[in-house]
Amino acid sequence: MKTLIINNLEFAQKQLKLADSFAVSSCERLLEILKLNDKNAEQAAINFELTGFYKQFSHPNLRLHIKTRLPAICQRCLENMYLKLDLSIDYLISETALDTLDENDEMDWLEANNEMNLHELIEDELLLAMPFAPMHENDCSKLSMQSGEKPNPFAILKGKIK
End-to-end CA distance of the chain: 71
Q: Is residue 144 part of a domain?
A: no
Q: Is residue 156 part of a domain?
A: no
| Distance between CA atoms of residues 118 and 5, nearest Å | 6
Q: Is the dihedral of CA 5, 113, 59, 119 positive or negative?
A: positive
Q: Is residue 145 part of a domain?
A: no
| Distance between CA atoms of residues 74 and 112, nearest Å | 39
Q: Is residue 150 part of a domain?
A: no
Q: Is residue 111 part of a domain?
A: yes
Domain count for the chain, please give it: 1
* CA distances (Å), origin 50, targets 18, 56, 90, 127, 153: 5, 17, 10, 18, 57
Q: What is the pLDDT along the chain (162 residues), one digit of tens a residue?
A: 567 899 999 999 999 999 999 988 888 888 888 766 556 556 789 999 999 998 766 789 999 999 999 888 888 888 888 889 999 999 998 877 655 555 546 678 888 889 999 999 999 999 999 888 888 877 776 554 444 566 677 777 776 665
Q: Is the dihedral of CA 87, 92, 97, 99 positive or negative?
A: negative
* Range(s) of the domain holding residue 68: 5-138
Q: Is residue 73 part of a domain?
A: yes
**pTM of the complete model:** 0.76
Q: Is residue 56 part of a domain?
A: yes
| Distance between CA atoms of residues 4 and 7, nearest Å | 10
Q: Is residue 112 part of a domain?
A: yes
| Distance between CA atoms of residues 71 and 53, nearest Å | 33
Coil, strand, or helix at residue 42? Answer: helix
